C-alpha cells in the first residue's frame, strides 16, 4: 500500500470512506469515478475542490472524444506516427455550489462531522453525507447523490439536499457548466497526461435560461462539435437567475430556507458530439434528453440504474467466501470495467477507462488479451462491440501497413483512439506487431465461444486474413528453412527490437493457421463471402497455402540446455539485471534508467513467454510451463500492471499454490490499494480484467480450446468457496467450488457440454446441475 492509501472498510458491495481524507483526495477522485462506457466523471465533489495545486485533477471525459495534435520529434524518421489523439477533458457539468448566507459550503473550511462517502456497486450511486459547520457557525446537513446512466449513454444526474440545522435564512444554490477546463500536462512519466496545455475546445455558442445551460464547442484539429448541457431544478426556490462568466455558465437559485427543512436541487447533464450525430442535431438532442430525464425524475433514473446492475451482477458476479476485502476488490474491478467499456462499436476500452488521463485515453492490446475475454464470458454483446471497433479500424490499419512499406495487409496501431497509430516511441510502440495476432486471437476466441458465423463472414474473416498477411510480409525463411520474424518488440517492454520474440512468433503461427482455416471454411461453405473478401483484399490463390507453410516452419526459439523457451534470439545471452543491488526506489525501472540500459539486460517488465504459456496453453507440456515460469519469474519486475495476473494463472496451473495466491492478491486490489502508486491518473483496466482471468483461468483452471471448454478447479486454502459465471455457446453456466468439490449449474440455455479435468459433463434444462467431488 502507498502512504496515501485510503482505508476503506472491507465491505463486499460498497466502497465507503468514513472520514474526509485530504491526503488521498487525488486517488479517491479516481476510485469514486463514475462512468457508463461513454461519460466518465471523476469523484470530485460538486462543490469543487479548493485544496493545494497538484492534489486534484477534476475531470469529465467522453470515451472516444478526442483532439489530435501533431507529434513533434526533434529528430524525425520516415513513417513515425505523425499525429497524437488524446481524450479531452470536457466541460464540467456536475458543478453545484451551496452558499449559506454569504459563506460558501466547502468541506475544506469550517468543520465536517458525520461524514460518509459511498460508491454502491449494486445501485451505481455515489453518495456523500456530512454535517458541516461553517466558519461563521451555521450548520447544515449535506447529502449528495450522483449517477452516470447505464441506460442512456449521454446522461449524468445528481441531486443535492441541504438542511439548515441551526438557522433559517437565505441559502443560495449555484449550478454551473464550466468550459474553462484543460487536460493534465505530462511530466517525465510517459504514462501520465498529454503534451497539450491550455483549453482545447473553441466556444461556438452559448444557450441559457434560468434552468438550462448549453455550451456549443468545437475541437481545433479533429473537427468535432460538442454540446454539453445541463438542466437544474431547485424546489422552493424564490428566484432564479443566470449569468455567463467567460466559459462558465451559472444558474443561481435563492431560497428562503427554514431550519430543519431540506432544500433539494436536482441537476441533469448531457454530452452529445458529432462523432455520434450530425452537428445540426446536437443541440436539439441535448434538450430532448434533459427534458425527458426531468420528466422521468431522479428516482426513476435511480431505479433504472439499479435494475441494469442487478442484471449485470446476475450474469457476472464473482463470489469469494472468506475474504471481504478481496470480494470488495473483485466486485470493484468488475464494476469499473463495466463503467469503462465503450459499447457502441465506435469506441473501445482505454487503459485507464474513462477515469483519468493516464495514457491519454488510448486503446492498446490490453483490450484483446485481457479485457475482451472478461466481456466475452460475462457480457458477450459488449465483447462483440469491441470487435466491431476493430472492424471499423480496418481501413486505417491498411493505410498504416502501406506507410510501414507493406504492400499488402493491415497493421493495427499499437495505441490509438480513432484508429491511427499514436505511439510516439516506436521501440515500445509500433514495433509491437503482436497486436495483429492479439486481435486475431480475440476473434478466434469469439468464434470459439459463440459460433457467430454471421459476424465472421461480415467482418471477422477479413480482419484475420488481412492482418495475417503482415507476417508473411515481415517474416522470411532463414538458411535453415525456418520462418523467422525479425526486429519486433514482444509484450515485454523492457526488451525491444529483437529477432524472433517467442510470444510474437507463437501467436503469429496460430494467427496464420487460423487465417488459412477461415479461408478454407469460407471457400467451402460460403463461397460468395469468400469471393467478395478475396476481391476486396486482392487475395492471391496461393496465399492461404503460404500462410500454412510459414506457420509450419515458424521458428520458436528453445534453449535445450536450460530446457526453456527463449524470449528472443538474444535474451539469454544478455547480462542478467543486478536485482540484488537495485534499491526499491529504483522501480519501476522505466522511470529510473535510460531504455537502452534496460534493453541490454535480462530483465522483463511483464509476462512475455509466460503469457504465451497461457494463451497457447495446449501447445506446452506442464514441465515446459514450470521451467519457463521458474526462469522468467526470476527476471521479471512486474513493473507493468499487466503482469502479476498472468503469473498467478500459470503458477496455479503448475501447482505453485502460494505464488498463485500472492500474485492474484497483487492484482485484485491493485487500484483500491494503489499498489502501483499511480491510480490517481486512472484505474488499470487490464489488471482489473486480469482479476477475473485469475479466478476463472487460474483457480478455476478454465481453458477454451477450439470451442471446447474444460475446468480444473482448485480451492485456495484461504477461501471457503468461490463461484464465477461464463457465457458459452448461448448458455450461462455457474461454476461454484468449495471443499467438497465443484458444482456446475446451467442458468440459461438448453444444454452445454464441457470437461471437468478429464471427465466429460453434460448439463441441460432437464438436468441443470452437476457435482464433481473434490
- Residue closer to ligand BGC by CB (options 367, 723) is 367
Query: What is the nearest approach in angstroms of ligand BGC to the Cβ of residue 189?
Result: 11
DSSP 599: H
Strand partners, 320: 722
Query: What is the nearest approach in angstroms of ligand BGC to the Cβ of residue 88?
Result: 19
Query: What is the nearest approach in angstroms of ligand BGC to the Cβ of residue 240?
Result: 46
Q: Cα–Cα distances in Å, from 714 out to 256, 649, 657?
A: 64, 12, 9
Contacts of 521 (CB under 8 A, 6+ apart): none
**Residue 723: all three cell numbers together:** 463461484
Contacts of 126 (CB under 8 A, 6+ apart): 32, 34, 43, 117, 118, 119, 145, 146, 147
- Residue closer to ligand BGC by CB (options 316, 351) is 351
Q: Cα–Cα distances in Å, from 235 out to 126, 254, 626?
A: 22, 10, 66
Distance between CA 201 and CA 227 in Å, rounded?
Answer: 11
- Residue closer to ligand BGC by CB (options 127, 421) is 421
For residue 370, give the 3-state DSSP assignment.
helix
For residue 213, give the 3-state DSSP assignment.
strand
Contacts with ligand BGC by CB under 6 A lie at: 351, 359, 364-366, 491, 493, 605-606, 640, 642, 686
CB 661 within 8 A of CB 716: yes
Q: Cα–Cα distances in Å, from 324 out to 1, 24, 404?
A: 17, 22, 50
Integer-rounded Cα Rg, in Å, for the chain is: 27
Query: What is the nearest approach in angstroms of ligand BGC to the Cβ of residue 613?
Result: 17
- Residue closer to ligand BGC by CB (options 149, 640) is 640
Query: What is the nearest approach in angstroms of ligand BGC to the Cβ of residue 745?
Result: 35
CB 699 within 8 A of CB 660: yes
Q: Which of 67, 493, 633, 666 is catalytic?
A: 493
Query: What is the nearest approach in angstroms of ligand BGC to the Cβ of residue 588?
Result: 9
**Residue 415: all three cell numbers together:** 495505441
Report how far apart the first and last C-alpha atoms of the chain are (Å, whole number): 36
Distance between CA 705 and CA 564 in Å, rounded?
Answer: 23
Query: What is the nearest approach in angstroms of ligand BGC to the Cβ of residue 416?
Result: 12
For residue 151, give the 3-state DSSP assignment.
coil
Sign (positive or negative) of CA dihedral 300, 306, 310, 316: positive
Distance between CA 124 and CA 41 in Å, rounded?
Answer: 13
Strand partners, 173: 98, 253
Other Cβ atoms less than 10 A from the Cβ of 268: the count is 26
Query: What is the nearest approach in angstroms of ligand BGC to the Cβ of residue 359?
Result: 6
- Residue closer to ligand BGC by CB (options 605, 727) is 605
- Residue closer to ligand BGC by CB (options 96, 351) is 351
Q: In which residue are the cell numbers 502512504 written?
A: 3
CB 161 within 8 A of CB 263: yes
Distance between CA 95 and CA 175 in Å, rounded?
Answer: 6
Query: What is the nearest approach in angstroms of ligand BGC to the Cβ of residue 351?
Result: 4
Query: What is the nearest approach in angstroms of ligand BGC to the Cβ of residue 684?
Result: 7
- Residue closer to ligand BGC by CB (options 123, 504) is 504
CB 374 within 8 A of CB 702: no
- Residue closer to ligand BGC by CB (options 466, 493) is 493
Query: What is the nearest approach in angstroms of ligand BGC to the Cβ of residue 454?
Result: 31
- Residue closer to ligand BGC by CB (options 491, 544) is 491
Q: Cα–Cα distances in Å, from 46 out to 14, 174, 346, 568, 652?
A: 21, 11, 30, 52, 45
- Residue closer to ligand BGC by CB (options 163, 643) is 643
Candidates 79, 271, 82; CA nearest to 181 is: 271
Furthest-apart CA pair in the chain: how many Å?
Answer: 90
DSSP 456: I
Per-residue H/E/C for 158-198:
EEEEEEECCCCEEEEEEEEEECCCCCCECCCCCCCCECCCC
Distance between CA 209 and CA 232 in Å, rounded?
Answer: 10
Q: Is 17 a catalytic residue?
A: no
- Residue closer to ligand BGC by CB (options 286, 423) is 423
Distance between CA 303 and CA 300 in Å, rounded?
Answer: 5
Active site residues: 493
Amino acid at each position: 500500500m502507498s502512504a496515501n492509501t485510503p482505508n476503506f472498510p472491507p465491505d463486499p458491495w460498497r466502497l465507503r470512506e468514513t472520514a474526509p481524507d485530504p491526503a488521498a483526495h487525488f486517488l479517491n477522485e479516481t476510485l469514486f469515478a463514475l462512468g457508463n462506457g461513454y461519460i466518465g466523471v471523476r469523484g470530485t465533489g460538486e462543490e469543487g475542490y479548493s485544496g493545494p495545486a497538484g492534489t486534484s485533477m477534476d475531470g469529465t471525459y467522453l470515451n472516444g472524444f478526442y483532439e489530435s495534435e501533431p507529434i513533434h520529434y526533434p529528430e524525425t524518421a520516415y513513417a513515425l506516427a505523425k499525429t497524437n489523439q488524446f481524450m479531452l477533458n470536457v466541460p464540467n457539468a456536475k458543478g453545484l455550489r451551496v452558499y449559506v448566507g454569504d459563506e460558501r459550503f466547502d468541506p475544506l473550511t469550517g468543520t465536517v462531522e458525520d461524514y460518509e462517502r459511498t460508491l454502491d456497486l449494486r445501485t451505481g450511486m455515489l453518495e456523500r453525507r456530512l454535517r458541516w459547520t461553517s466558519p461563521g457557525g451555521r450548520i447544515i446537513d449535506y447529502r449528495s447523490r450522483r449517477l452516470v446512466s447505464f441506460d442512456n449513454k449521454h446522461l449524468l444526474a445528481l441531486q443535492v439536499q441541504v438542511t439548515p440545522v441551526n438557522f433559517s435564512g437565505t441559502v443560495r444554490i449555484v449550478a454551473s457548466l464550466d468550459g474553462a477546463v484543460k487536460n493534465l500536462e505530462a511530466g517525465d512519466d510517459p504514462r501520465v497526461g498529454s503534451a497539450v496545455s491550455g483549453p482545447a475546445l473553441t466556444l461556438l455558442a452559448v444557450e441559457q435560461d434560468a434552468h438550462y445551460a448549453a455550451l456549443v464547442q468545437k475541437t481545433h484539429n479533429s473537427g468535432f462539435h460538442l454540446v454539453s448541457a445541463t438542466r437544474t431544478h431547485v424546489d422552493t426556490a424564490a428566484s432564479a437567475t443566470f449569468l455567463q462568466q467567460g466559459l462558465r455558465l451559472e444558474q443561481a437559485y435563492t431560497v428562503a430556507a427554514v431550519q430543519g427543512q431540506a432544500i433539494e436541487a436536482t441537476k441533469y447533464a448531457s454530452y452529445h458530439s458529432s462523432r455520434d450525430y450530425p452537428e445540426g442535431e446536437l443541440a436539439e438532442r441535448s434538450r430532448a434528453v434533459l427534458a425527458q430525464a426531468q420528466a422521468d425524475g431522479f428516482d426513476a433514473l435511480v431505479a433504472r440504474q439499479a435494475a441494469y446492475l442487478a442484471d449485470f451482477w446476475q450474469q457476472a458476479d464473482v463470489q469469494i467466501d472468506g475474504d471481504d476485502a478481496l470480494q470488495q476488490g473483485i466486485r470493484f474491478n468488475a464494476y469499473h470495467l463495466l463503467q469503462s467499456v465503450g459499447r457502441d462499436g465506435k469506441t473501445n476500452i482505454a487503459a485507464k477507462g474513462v477515469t483519468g488521463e493516464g495514457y491519454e485515453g488510448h486503446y492498446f492490446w490490453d483490450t484483446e488479451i485481457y479485457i475482451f475475454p472478461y466481456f466475452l464470458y460475462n457480457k458477450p454483446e459488449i465483447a462483440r462491440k469491441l470487435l466491431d471497433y476493430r472492424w471499423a479500424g480496418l481501413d486505417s490499419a491498411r493505410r498504416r501497413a502501406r506507410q510501414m512499406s507493406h504492400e499488402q495487409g493491415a497493421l493495427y496501431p499499437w495505441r490509438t483512439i480513432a484508429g491511427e497509430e499514436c505511439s510516439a516511441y516506436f521501440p515500445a510502440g509500433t514495433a509491437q506487431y503482436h497486436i495483429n495476432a492479439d486481435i486475431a486471437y480475440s476473434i478466434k476466441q469469439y468464434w470459439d465461444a459463440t459460433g457467430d458465423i454471421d459476424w465472421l463472414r461480415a467482418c471477422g474473416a477479413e480482419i484475420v486474413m488481412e492482418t495475417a498477411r503482415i507476417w508473411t510480409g515481415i517474416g522470411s525463411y532463414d538458411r535453415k528453412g525456418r520462418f523467422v520474424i525479425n526486429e519486433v518488440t514482444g509484450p515485454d517492454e523492457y526488451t525491444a527490437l529483437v529477432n524472433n520474440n517467442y510470444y510474437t512468433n507463437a501467436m503469429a503461427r496460430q494467427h496464420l493457421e487460423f487465417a488459412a482455416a477461415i479461408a478454407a471454411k469460407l471457400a467451402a461453405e460460403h463461397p460468395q463471402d469468400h469471393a467478395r473478401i478475396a476481391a476486396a483484399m486482392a487475395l492471391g490463390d496461393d496465399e492461404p497455402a503460404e500462410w500454412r507453410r510459414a506457420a509450419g516452419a515458424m521458428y520458436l526459439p528453445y534453449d535445450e540446455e536450460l530446457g526453456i523457451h527463449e524470449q528472443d534470439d538474444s535474451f539469454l545471452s544478455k547480462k542478467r539485471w543486478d536485482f540484488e543491488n537495485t534499491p526499491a526506489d529504483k522501480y519501476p525501472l522505466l522511470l529510473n534508467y535510460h531504455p537502452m540500459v534496460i534493453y541490454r539486460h535480462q530483465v522483463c517488465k511483464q509476462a512475455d513467454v509466460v503469457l504465451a504459456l497461457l494463451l497457447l496453453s495446449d501447445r506446452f507440456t506442464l514441465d515446459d510451463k514450470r521451467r519457463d515460469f521458474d526462469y522468467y519469474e526470476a527476471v521479471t519486475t512486474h513493473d507493468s500492471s499487466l503482469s502479476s495476473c498472468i503469473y498467478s494463472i500459470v503458477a496455479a496451473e503448475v501447482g505453485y499454490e502460494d505464488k498463485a495466491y500472492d500474485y492474484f492478491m497483487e492484482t485484485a486490489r491493485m487500484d483500491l490499494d494503489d499498489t502501483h502508486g499511480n491510480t490517481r491518473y486512472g484505474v488499470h483496466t487490464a489488471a482489473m480484467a486480469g482479476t477475473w482471468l485469475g479466478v476463472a483461468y487460474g483457480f478455476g483452471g478454465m481453458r477454451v480450446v477450439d470451442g471446447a471448454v474444460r475446468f480444473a478447479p482448485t480451492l485456495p486454502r484461504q477461501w471457503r468457496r468461490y463461484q464465477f459465471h461464463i457465457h458459452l455457446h448461448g448458455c450461462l453456466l455457474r461454476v461454484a467450488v468449495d471443499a467438497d468439490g465443484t458444482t456446475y449449474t446451467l442458468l440459461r440455455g438448453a444444454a452445454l457440454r464441457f470437461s471437468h479435468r478429464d471427465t466429460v459433463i453434460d448439463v441441460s434444462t432437464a438436468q441443470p446441475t452437476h457435482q464433481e467431488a473434490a
